[in-house]
Amino acid sequence: MENTYPDGENYVCADCGFEWPMVQPEQEEKFEVRDANGNLLSDGDSVVLVKDLKVKGSSTTLKMGSKVKSIRLVSGGDHEVDCRMDAGNFMLKACFLKKV
């Protein structure tokens, strides 16, 4: 339509009030996550901790060499990897992980 205008990250139709994103989902920028050795990580990979990590707000310590199966990558924030371990669910930085 003629009466559309950009508003932030969306286009808005002045006639009906409908909003849609400027960037379509298939056009979104792909992000890369690399482990401590520079290997590219992807969803479902298995990784190993390369350093003992203290869990903030808890007395729990994640031990070096602990294997994490089936990771999930998340964009945004400074912790790129979401995982489940015996001690619970954690968000980890990729620089403390090594791909198996």
Give the tens place of pLDDT for each residue, 25-54: 554 556 789 999 999 999 999 999 999 999
- Return the pLDDT at 19: 85
- Return the pLDDT at 21: 83
Residue 38 tokens read as 């520079």
CATH superfamily of 31-99: SH3 Domains (2.30.30.40)
User: What is the domain partition of the chain in residue ranges?
Assistant: 1-28, 31-99
Written in H, E and C, the secondary structure of the chain is CCCEEEECCEEEECCCCCEEECCCHHHCCCCCEECCCCCEECCCCCEEECCCEECCCCCCEECCCCEECCCEECCCCCCCEEEEECCEEEEECHHHEEEC
